[in-house]
A and B are shown apart, each in its own frame.
Chain A
Amino acid sequence: MTADLLRFATAGSVDDGKSTLIGRLLHDSKSLFTDQLADVERVSRERGDDYTDLALLMDGLRAEREQGITIDVAYRYFATPRRRFIIADTPGHIQYTRNMVTGASTADVAVLLLDARNGITEQSRRHAFIATLLGVPHIVVCVNKMDLVGFSEAVFEGIREEFGDFATRLRVRDLTFIPTSALLGDNVVEPSRNMPWYDGPALLSHLERLHVASDRNLVDVRFPVQYVVRPQSHHVIDYRGYAGTVASGVLKPGDAVLVLPSGLESTIATIDTADGPVDEAFPPMAVTITLTDHIDVGRGDMFCRPHNAPTVAQEIDAHVCWMDEAASLVEGRTYAIKHTTRWARAVVRELLYRIDVNTLHRVEDATALSLNEIGRIHLRVTRPLFADLYQQNRQTGSFILVDDGTNKTVAAGMIMRAIGTT
């Protein structure tokens, strides 16, 4: 069998040993190149560090090295014979909530680090909250720096219990705890000899074996039309194909489809790729679909099944994370909205509440959301979106808001309620 792909996001601060942990994963899985390592060794030596600071591998930009902080999401790659991994390494500080949201948005797994000496902090609660808000299906909590608490089982169990209690308030589907020492390598790639009381897997073997295929929604057929392929050539006559990426569900030739917004029904004639037709398409395949009928379909339309359609909605409730430093979200303002392959304009009718990301309390009298703040809003959209709830579909339940004045992406949105138009 060929290796599949797993995307995971890491969150935690440098103090928790996160960069060391990632450096360790890359190093012990032999994914580092000798010149990269030599580079880091040289910089470490020049700075007068006592040891090779694997964290330097992560802080790529000069601005970051100068300030000794990680500003942005960094992507790292490594592979084992079982799997290919993409790490979205996100800075842990509250100022960088938007970066964790970015990293978590496409992640199958969130790896949260905490320092065994400090136990659960506000920061670790916030990380768990963001991971669940973004619908990351699996959470792994690495209780790190176990070497500094004498590899104590009692410390680990205490943290596990406390975190478990807290997690019941969140919608966590799969939660795993691993005691690690990234510095010494315990339970990162190699199992620990210092913690015989722990009988679970090391982090890497856990990530290698995690079953993520069933996280994908294979039930609800959703195919946002991305581009209409119409060859202007005498080799191919009368070809009209609808190119797109399967958001969810499985499509086959002969299947009945309902096209939104027209409401017309048709049948899939072929599912084409450059390598020839295929007998089925599932997420995240990029294909081109032809229909048996000549009906008017364009970008931003959606194919679904006649008896399983998303909500055609112009009124939406959503959680949003605000990402713009220059201006805050204010009630009454209109933004451009992008949902699947569809653009529209959306007016913020109401800011329902802001969520204090540290306590998870609702702040009901909030009047604005500024950078890194999360809240629930009510939107009215100029043209209908074909929406599912984010919990059920990360593809058709998500959107971004764009400020027309600056063209910047200012918010990430997760649909909590979609009110159908009739």
Chain B
Amino acid sequence: MKILSLKRRLRAGLASLLALMVMGIGAVVMVYPYVYMVGGSLKTRSEFATDRPAILPPRFEPSRLFQRFVVGRKDPDYDQQLKEWPLQRNYADAITFGHIDRFVCNSFLYAFVITAISLVVNVMAAYAFARMRFPGRDLLFGMLLMTMMIPSTVLLIPQFLLIQRLGLVDHPLGVVLPAFADAFGIFLLRQFFISIPTDLESAARVDGCSRGGILRHVIVPLSKPVLITLGLFTFMAAWNAFEWPLVVLSNQDLYPLTVGLALFRDQNTQDWPRVFAASVLGSVPLIALFYAAQRYLVSGITLSGIKG
């Protein structure tokens, strides 16, 4: 009996080890492009051209770093190389010539406005669809679900013409307006609202709370995790949007990060370290935001209305 359980435990441990190894390899595959991007952003132009396959610039070679800083061997050549570190150059260029800071601000503004307004719009609609009865409810909700299937590529041309008619081409409002309502968000929120017990609402109603009051004081506080999840996903989608702002905007001052990066690449086809520095600057804000909000995310994904 003892031997058997030992054997089983050994087997389970082995399986766990194997899983760890495969997952570890996968993790390296996931991280490698980021390391390559950061490393590239720290190279000089000539280093990038000659040592393209190298992940890190030569001055960060671990053996040399070890010799210089751990062993403490004097190496004036190496010190000189470190002094000519192009960190400042590439990153400063990305900001002074590429205006990446402005693009990041624009992206933040677009993503923030879209997230804030669409959350309000979607919460209101989702609450009505979840809790109120009115003629045409199921028909309208069905129509909403159907629109989830429409590819954005199909909507690109007519939406552009609509925005053109509204005089919003090359206007920040034109970038954000079509994203203010989101069928998927309404669907997701409705699923969650339905799962909230009605007892709480009935109690609030007895106390004379209006529909708006219930929504604000009962439903929204109870839905915080799903609201944060949806907010993050909306923010992410708005931050990643490329095709729509590319079509709507021609004034470079209004470009979001994605379009701005594409423009910066076109202006610097011979200077990739700069482009990589800009890419690093462009990816850090969202990654930071997500890891700040990570604890909501894991629960949020399970909440996203998909029954396993």
The answer to whether A and B interact is: no
Residues of B within 8 A of A (CB): none
Residues of A within 8 A of B (CB): none
